[in-house]
């Protein structure tokens, strides 16, 4: 633990004992960012749960290697957001998380300037709150160029009164890599983000504290509490202010199964699934749901054709513990991937935990 983070925890602990614990009925004002995709389930959940949303972040814009940005936000979303004072901060991404396309873009100064000009114009035209970068699968060799592009974009947007944030794959180290898999993640997914620099020049970072386990890993939690804490602790240790951190929260579950194709042969596959789909799989296979107390998550395992299959659920019970992290660390808010896939009971948790929007 870094010295600065140790002092933060010490001050918080002293305050806890001198002033008493945070009252159980205290409200917590959180900037609740919800990711959306261009689908009807996403839109309907947005419309029905608007009172819990501070920022709508539709993943609808993409970029070419020449810096051309294309896409558009659902006009129904824009109308409802305006009527309810909800900010709109669309995502811009490299389509399919194409590494080579984005490498070519970052190394073309004219393309970068074209993209920045376009983001400013679109923000003005549509009255966006700002933009969020969702550029992923970037090699570490592009770290300096990515930071420079983010810095230049922040300067241009701030000059016109708009905000900039970034969705980032979190890490808990930049040197002590235990396995070849850790090396792969750092070199191709994590290491490109200069977290301290990005936090300082932009407005906040949405840390993707989900996808702890994926199709590339053995079965496990989408976002176990110990792992989420490690990611947040690291960001605080390197000097990032809590109010610059938006905690990533999953509304999706994951299902693991044995799969086959001609190219790979037999292999383990992990697939994101809505709560509704994951619960259906569990019920269809008459499996028992088990609470993993250390991780604060439900899971189930069953046999199909003699081979075990697994589902790790993100539901209302697991959400409560994630919201405790938000409050305990006094973070800016949450960034939820994605609305429309959730356990319907999660909205009751926002009420019971007294999470208000800001």
Cβ atoms 77, 36 nearer than 8 A: yes
Specify the pLDDT at position 26. 87
The residue with tokens 């389509």 is 95
| Alpha-carbon gap, residue 234 to 150, rounded angstroms | 22
Q: What is the pLDDT of residue 1?
A: 53
- The CATH fold assigned to 3-251+315-357 is TIM Barrel (3.20.20)
**Of residues 153, 145, 150, the one with CA closest to residue 116:** 153
Alpha-carbon distance 12 to 328, whole Å? 9
Q: Which residues of the chain have pLDDT under 50?
A: 8, 11-20
pLDDT value of residue 25: 66
What's the confidence (pLDDT) of residue 355? 94
pLDDT in tens, 324-350: 999 999 999 999 999 999 999 999 999
Query: Quick one: how far is CA 303 from the chain centroid?
Result: 32
Indicate the domain borders of the chain. Answer: 3-251+315-357
Within the chain, what is the greatest distance between any pair of CA atoms?
65
Predicted pLDDT of residue 13: 47
Q: Tell me how many helices (H) and strands (E) the chain has.
A: 12, 16
Q: What is the pLDDT of residue 19?
A: 47
Q: Give the pair of three-digit tokens for residue 330.
A: 């006094």
DSSP assignment of 235-274: HHHTT--GGGEEEEEE--EEEEEEEEETTTEEEEEEEEE-
- The 8-class DSSP code of residue 288 comes to P
């Amino acid at each position: 633990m870094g010295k600065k983070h140790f002092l933060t925890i010490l001050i918080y602990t002293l305050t806890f004992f001198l002033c008493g614990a945070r009252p159980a009925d205290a409200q917590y004002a959180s900037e609740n960012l919800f990711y959306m995709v261009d689908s009807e389930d996403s839109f309907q959940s947005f419309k029905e749960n608007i009172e819990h949303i501070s920022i709508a972040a539709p993943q609808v814009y993409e970029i070419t290697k020449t810096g051309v940005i294309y896409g558009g936000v659902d006009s129904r979303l824009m109308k409802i957001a305006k009527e309810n004072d909800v900010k709109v901060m669309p995502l811009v991404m490299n389509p399919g998380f194409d590494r080579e396309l984005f490498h070519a873009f970052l190394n073309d100064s004219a393309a970068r300037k074209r993209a920045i000009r376009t983001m400013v114009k679109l923000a003005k035209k549509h009255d966006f709150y700002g933009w969020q970068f969702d550029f992923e699968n970037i090699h570490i060799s592009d770290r300096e160029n990515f930071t420079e592009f983010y810095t230049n974009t922040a300067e241009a947007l701030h000059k016109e009164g708009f905000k900039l944030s970034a969705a980032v794959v979190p890490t808990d180290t930049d040197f002590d890599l235990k396995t070849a898999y850790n090396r792969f993640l750092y070199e191709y997914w994590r290491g490109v983000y200069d977290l301290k620099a990005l936090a300082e020049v932009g407005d906040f970072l949405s840390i993707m504290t989900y996808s702890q386990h994926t199709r590339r890993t053995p079965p496990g939690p989408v976002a176990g509490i110990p792992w989420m804490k490690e990611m947040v602790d690291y960001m605080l240790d390197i000097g990032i202010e809590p109010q610059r951190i938006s905690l990533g929260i999953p509304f999706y579950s994951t299902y693991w199964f044995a799969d086959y194709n001609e190219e790979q042969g037999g292999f383990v596959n992990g697939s994101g699934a809505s709560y509704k789909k994951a619960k259906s799989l569990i019920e269809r296979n008459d499996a028992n749901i088990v609470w993993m107390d250390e991780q604060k998550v439900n899971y189930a395992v069953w046999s199909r054709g003699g081979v075990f299959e697994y589902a790790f659920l993100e539901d209302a019970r697991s959400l409560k513990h994630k919201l405790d992290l938000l409050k305990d660390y006094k973070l800016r808010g949450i960034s939820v991937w994605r609305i429309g896939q959730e356990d319907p009971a999660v909205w009751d948790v926002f009420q019971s935990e007294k999470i208000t929007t800001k």
